[in-house]
Structure 1
Amino acid sequence: MAFKQTGDIAAQRLSPEQLSCEFSDIAPLLDASAAAAAASRCHYCYDAPCVNACPTQIDIPSFIRKIGDGNLKGAAVDILSANPLGGMCARVCPTEILCEGACVRNHQDAKPVAIGALQRHATDWAMARGEVLFKRAADSGRHVAVIGAGPAGLACAHRLALSGHQVTIYDAHEKAGGLNEYGIAAYKTVDDFAQREVAWLCSVGGIDIKHGVTLGRDIDLDTLRQQHDAVFLAIGLSGVRALAMEGEDLSGVMNAVDFIEQIRSASDVGTVPVGRRVVVIGGGNTAVDAAVQSRKLGATSVTMVYRRGVESMSATWAERDFAQTSGVTLVTHAAPTRLIGNAGVVTSVEFERASSEGSQERFVIEADMVLKAIGQTLVPVGIERELLTLDGNRIAVDESGQTSLPGVWAGGDCAATGGIDLTVQAVQDGKIAAAAIDAQFARTAVKAA
């Protein structure tokens, strides 16, 4: 869904020079001396709370010590053997609540070791040099279908390929990467990094990606099971929750994920239309990314409104702070009641919140553009009902990612794994499923022998 340039929604609000500055890398790469200084702050803790806080269990003290010793290849091996999308995770992980949040330095000088920046330093070095870090095992004769080329699907494919299995990834988009390619703010991952990381990951061999293929339309699960030795479902959450209120169909109202995808897909971000007065409804990372990018595209005012308090937001404190320092106004404890328009075009949003006296008060925020970011949902097209959880919101899996259907696993946002909805968790889901699939192949091989 794309905006029509009507009313105050227009493209090219800023000059190319301004846009280049606004969408430049927000966390530039460390140079060698800065990396050495950052590495020197690590205590190399024997119990490593940072490792326990990382869903992919990267050996953080080990790779930081190697950076300090000048062994960047060894550091990259430590990282990428645990997390094959370690370069992207170094850019987008909420390290403030994961590894860096657990760093013992927080209790000493309130400044954790720059783990994310150091991780990027090592992985970017290895990828830029085209270093060969892993060798694929001999071909096993097994063939696995992976549905979805997002973080979970790519991580699963990489692990399976390393074990010698052939993998075919089927993805609905023109480019692989999933949310890493289409759903993350452009200023977090510049210079086409998502595609460069996919190319590196697939360079191990044994991975074939088929684009423009959708489960339930172009392929079906029964056929995939017949043609492959195992299937891994990593279809993500492609649906978007609706506000279900008056005015939602007005021109100027859009899903935030579609807005972010427009920006990520544009060859020139200046061609993406944006309003002068933007209201973003939601309190997660998608809301923050949409709000900040609206400002960076030239919106005069951007207001992010959330129905609860900041403590309930899924966006971290660092993301909230970044949004506010980027010029986004944050309004909490306010729920939308209707979208107001004129001649079919949105003009404002009415909100309601409890006053200090306990009564409900209503107020209106003017807007020519409204971005909805209230959550995404599973679209179970091509998925049998018996594979879903009781509420139908996710695919039911066990601790290894296996579904109730023999030979079928699932992971990432689409699966009820009990993990957090983050790229790094999706990677871990893919790894766990790959290990389970490989173990299943080993068991069947023994029985056959």
Structure 2
Amino acid sequence: MTDKTLEPGVVPGRLDASAYDAHFSDLHPPLEGHEALVAADRCYFCHDAPCVTACPTDIDIPLFIRQIATGTPESAARTIFNQNILGGMCARVCPTETLCEEACVRELAEGKPVEIGRLQRYATDTLMDQDVHPFTRAAPTGKSLAVVGAGPAGLACAHRAAMLGHDVTIYDARPKPGGLNEFGIAAYKSTDDFAAREVDWLMQIGGITLRHEQALGRDVTLDALQQQHDAVFLGLGLGAVNALGLEGEDKGGLEDAVDFIAELRQASDLSKLPIGRDVVVIGGGMTAIDAAVQAKLLGALNVSLVYRRGRERMNASAFEQDLAASKGVRIITNATPKAIHGNGAVREIEFEYTDDDLTPTGQTVRLPADQVFKAIGQKLEGAGLPALDGGKIAVQGAGRTSVNGVWAGGDCAAGGDDLTVTAVAEGRDAAEDIHSHLTAEG
């Protein structure tokens, strides 16, 4: 990120020192023991539970809630981790309101679902706080797997493959593992360095080696990995960011929302992080919401989130949209960026209103802006990749690519919905398929 202290209006320390801790505290505080029992008691323990069908990782939700209700949260955690080894993080960041909780019978009958996400966090935190790892490795198979990317898909694949007895080496481009869990989500969703602690806990399975600052195409190649290992899993995420395509996009004060969020997540002192007075975020997904809310929490006076379509078309859930509005973020819809104004640094950004089909109406609006965050989607980058489908790696079945011996999953693979929980499921399932492939070879 550029030195924004040199840009008028973009300064650090907009709030009193004590305000930062309060603003970035846990979005959903954990349940206490009695609260968890009361919440668990609301579950009907459905036989054909629709919440399980709605969970991308197929967690047996009625079972783990019953285990909490009977006073065995550690057993509940094992039920969760058996399907989702990153169940602790997913309990914090999953859009449960549009997945398991939306399908909950209580939601359909009363408009108030069982708090599945918070119960999952209660169970997983209970076991992880005991520094207990619920799985052990199988006998060594003598086979090795290269995993590219230490994000949710790569970590889930690596853990399951290691558990099945394979030796795993993870190659990650960043200096720390975790992927979007570490660098790409709002700080108030994952407090107390949880993402890093979860990776350390996951690594207790053994058999996994982490190699940092190893980017595919820069430091390692797919061909070389295939020669060194028996199989390769690509979980490298999406490293490039789409551009607005407007003149002046290189002006000071314009940056990618993912870079802003990453810097905030790694900052040791939020009061030292510069933020503008008038902030504009362009986009309608989770990254846009996270950037907009955190800009407001850092002390920006005016924060506007602008999306080119209507609110019902935003990728961010209604809950996230309401959260942004509750923090003072103004959401402007059906507006497309048209021009960037300012000398050297952005001062205004001009939008043109559109119809629902993105047809321009001819009406424009200029928003004052000393800082603009672009959150209009990311794209895959890298050379020598398997065949692509719509800009992502084409996959069949449990992540098999066009290259024999190479699998892919998570955001870099076609067909997913760019959710942490989906990435975990794809990494886990790929590991099982890789295991079948390697053991069948003998």
**TM-score, normalization: structure 1?**
0.96
In structure 2, the residue matched to 1:415 is: 413
Please state if 1:360 is matched with 2:357: no
Instruction: Give the paired residue count.
Output: 439
Please state if 1:434 is matched with 2:431: yes
Alpha-carbon distance in structure 2 between the residues aligned to 1:10 and 1:423: 33
Please show how residues 10-409 of structure 1 align to structure 2 within 5 Å.
10-342=11-343, 344-354=344-354, 359-381=361-383, 383-384=384-385, 387-391=386-390, 393-409=391-407
Q: CA deviation at 1:4?
A: 2.4
For 1:415, give the aligned amino acid.
A
Alpha-carbon distance in structure 1 between the residues aligned to 2:427 and 2:389: 23
Are the counterparts in 1 of residues 308 and 354 from structure 2 also a CA contact under 8 Å? no
Q: Deviations over 1:90-135 (max 9, x none)?
A: 0000001000010010122110000000000000111111123111
SS of aligned partner of 1:443? helix
Q: CA deviation at 1:406?
A: 1.2
Alpha-carbon distance in structure 2 between the residues aligned to 1:58 and 1:168: 27
SS of aligned partner of 2:250? coil
Are the counterparts in 2 of residues 2 and 262 from structure 1 also a CA contact under 8 Å? no
Q: Deviations over 1:52-95 (max 9, x none)?
A: 00000000000000000010111000001100000000000000
Q: CA deviation at 1:3?
A: 4.1
Q: CA deviation at 1:402?
A: 1.0
For 1:435, give the aligned amino acid.
E
Per mean C-alpha deviation after superposition, the further-off stretch among 209-218 and 346-355 is 346-355
Are the counterparts in 2 of residues 3 and 252 from structure 1 also a CA contact under 8 Å? no
Alpha-carbon distance in structure 1 between the residues aligned to 2:400 and 2:361: 49
**TM-score, normalization: structure 2?**
0.97
Alpha-carbon distance in structure 2 between the residues aligned to 1:83 and 1:2: 38
SS of aligned partner of 2:97? coil
Alpha-carbon distance in structure 1 between the residues aligned to 2:175 and 2:417: 27
SS of aligned partner of 1:203? helix
Are the structure 2 counterparts of residues 94 and 355 from structure 1 closer, same or farther at C-alpha, using a change threshold of 3 Å?
A: closer
SS of aligned partner of 1:108? helix
Are the structure 2 counterparts of residues 355 and 396 from structure 1 closer, same or farther at C-alpha, using a change threshold of 3 Å?
A: closer
Query: Where does the alignment leave 5 or more consecutive residues of structure 1 unmatched?
Result: none
Alpha-carbon distance in structure 1 between the residues aligned to 2:61 and 2:196: 25
Per mean C-alpha deviation after superposition, the further-off stretch among 263-272 and 250-259 is 263-272
Alpha-carbon distance in structure 1 between the residues aligned to 2:209 and 2:400: 23
SS of aligned partner of 1:425? helix
For 1:25, give the aligned amino acid.
D
For 2:207, give the aligned amino acid.
G
Alpha-carbon distance in structure 2 between the residues aligned to 1:151 and 1:132: 18
In structure 2, the residue matched to 1:4 is: 4
Are the counterparts in 1 of residues 148 and 236 from structure 2 also a CA contact under 8 Å? yes
Query: Where does the alignment leave 5 or more consecutive residues of structure 2 unmatched?
Result: none
Structure 1 residue runs of 4+, over 4 Å off?
A: none
Q: CA deviation at 1:265?
A: 1.2
Alpha-carbon distance in structure 1 between the residues aligned to 2:53 and 2:293: 31
Identity %: 54
Q: CA deviation at 1:439?
A: 0.2
